[in-house]
Amino acid sequence: MTITYNFEGRTVLVTGAAQGIGKALAEFFVASAARVVVADRDATLLNDEWGGGNDNVLPLEVDVADRTSVDNAIAAVVAKWGSIDVVVNNAGIARDSVVWKLTDEQWDSVLAVHLTGTFNVTRAAVPHMRSSGFGRIVNVTSYTGMHGNIGQSNYAAAKGGIIAFTKSVAKETARFGITANAISPNAATAMVAAVPAEKLAEMTATVPQGRFADPSEMAAAVAFLASDEAAYITGVVLPVDGGVSM
Ligand X SMILES: NC(=O)c1ccc[n+]([C@@H]2O[C@H](COP(=O)([O-])OP(=O)(O)OC[C@H]3O[C@@H](n4cnc5c(N)ncnc54)[C@H](O)[C@@H]3O)[C@@H](O)[C@H]2O)c1
- C-alpha separations of 130 from 2, 83, 103, 233 in Å: 27, 10, 39, 17
Which one of 25, 37, 64, 170 is in contact with ligand X (CB under 6 A)? 64
Angle between helices 117-132 and 67-81 (to 10 degrees): 30
Contact 219, 52 (CB under 8 A): no
User: Does 41 help bind ligand X (rule: CB under 6 A)?
Assistant: yes
Stretches 39-47, 122-130, 164-172, 232-240: which one binds ligand X (CB under 6 A)? 39-47
Angle at CA 206, nearest 5°, toward 246 and 167? 40
Give me the 115-144 binding string for ligand X, x by CB under 6 A, dash otherwise.
Answer: --x----------------------x-x--
Hey, which residues between 76 and 115 contact ligand X (CB under 6 A)?
90-93, 113
DSSP bridge partners of 93: none
| Rounded CA separation 118/96 (Å) | 20
Closest CB 111 distance from ligand X, rounded Å: 11
CB count in 10 Å sphere of residue 170: 19
From the list 12, 16, 34, 38, which residue makes contact with ligand X (rule: CB under 6 A)?
16
Does residue 185 interact with ligand X by CB under 6 A?
yes
Pick one of 5, 7, 11, 15: the residue that binds ligand X (CB under 6 A): 15
| DSSP secondary structure letter of residue 113 | I
Stretch that binds ligand X, among 12-20, 26-34, 222-230, 231-239 (CB under 6 A): 12-20
**Nearest in space to 233 (alpha carbons), one of 152, 157, 174, 193:** 174
Q: Which is nearer to ligand X, 120 or 134 (CB)?
A: 120
Please give the single-letter amino acid code of residue 162: I
Could you confirm whether 155 is annotated as catalytic? yes
Sites of contact with ligand X (CB under 6 A): 15-16, 18-22, 40-42, 62-65, 90-93, 113, 117, 140, 142, 185-187, 189-192
